[in-house]
Amino acid sequence: MRFAIFLAGLMLTVAQAGYAADLAAGKKVFTKCRACHAVGENAKNKVGPHLNGILGRPWGAVEGFKYSSGKDGTLISLKEAEPRVWDVETLSAYLRKPKGVIPRSKMEFPGLRDDADVTNVIYYLAQFDAEGNEVDPDAVLDALAATD
Ligand code: HEC
């Protein structure tokens, strides 16, 4: 009996740690993006645009950032052909293979090979709203899924 209680306690701890681990793992994956992208309070544009509120943000929406534009296959030309929003689907595809989604993207990044890295970094980014405040990532992703 005592063992059963111990086991139940252990399982609860593991379940809670699993939830936190996703955010922590996503934060770790974001170290690959950090040279070019900032997120959170006072995030500024670097080589790439800041990523606050990226889940649900229209493509190429940061004022003052010079996105790839002009020719076919650039971020702005694709967006002009059809309005687009960064959701889990487009973001996953882009982070796996940037040039597969935006052939002439300025983002010099080969892509993430591990599906779990893609999921975790999206989860990490979902917790920053447009002002860079930390919010509940689940609520952001649920709200976005409801608009699809
Ligand atoms: C070597 C620099 C570099 C790295 C590393 C990099 N990016 Fe980018 N990123 C860019 C640039 C430059 C752009 C603008 C692309 C364009 O204009 O075609 C961009 C664009 C983006 C966009 C579209 C933003 C918008 O406003 O439409 C997202 C989302 C994004 N990057 C996410 C990431 C994530 C997440 C990572 C890490 C897994 C990452 N990037 C790694 C440079 C980088």
Locate 76 and state its tokens.
């702005």
Residue 49 resides in a domain: yes
Domain total in the chain:
1
Q: Domain range holding 81? A: 25-147
pLDDT band at 147; cut points 50, 70, 90: confident
Does the residue 117 lie in any domain?
yes
Give the pTM: 0.88
Is 11 part of a structural domain of the chain? no
76 within ligand 1 shell (Cβ under 6 A): no
Decide if 3 is inside a domain: no
Segment 39-58, tens digit of pLDDT = 999 999 999 999 999 999 99
**Does 110 reside within a domain?**
yes
Is 45 within 8 Å of 65 (Cβ atoms)?
A: yes
Establish whether residue 120 lines the binding site of ligand 1, counting it when its CB lies within 6 angstroms of any ligand atom.
no
Q: What is the pLDDT of residues 127-143, one digit of tens each?
A: 999 999 999 999 999 99
54 Cβ below 6 A of ligand 1:
yes
CATH of the domain at 81: 1.10.760.10
pLDDT bucket at 22, cuts 50 / 70 / 90 = confident
Residue 112 counted as domain residue:
yes
pLDDT tens digits along 58-94: 999 999 999 999 999 999 999 999 999 999 999 999 9
Residue of the CA atom closest to atom 3 of ligand 1: 36
Residue 119 Cβ inside 6 Å of ligand 1? The answer reads no
CA distance 97 to 117: 13
